[in-house]
Amino acid sequence: MTLNLRGTPCPLNFIRTKLALEKLQPGESLTVELDGGEPDLLVSEGLQGDSSGLVAGFERQLLADGAVRLRLTRG
């Protein structure tokens, strides 16, 4: 599943990412594209600091246009 959240304001980008993860089965992956800067920090730090076990895998890739692609695996 892929979510394009470029241009989505904070904290909606975090909420939409978390809701999409909750819909996945454990082991399934989600790719999220979002703007760099505050949106990246809010989503990345929020998910990495989540102690619920929702995220089992986290990979962050900086794109050429300054956006960020996150690859998340549901725990």
The answer to whether 70 touches 58, Cβ cutoff 8 Å, is yes
Strands 29-34 and 2-4: parallel
Mean pLDDT of 2-18: 96
What pLDDT, in 10s, does the model give residues 49-68? 888 889 999 999 999 999 99
- Rounded (10°) angle between helices 38-48 and 12-23: 40
pTM over 0.75: yes
For residue 12, pLDDT over 90 is answered with yes
CATH numbers and ranges of domains, the chain: 2-74 (3.30.110.40)
User: Band of the pLDDT at 18, cuts 50, 70, 90?
Assistant: very high
- Mean pLDDT for the chain? 95
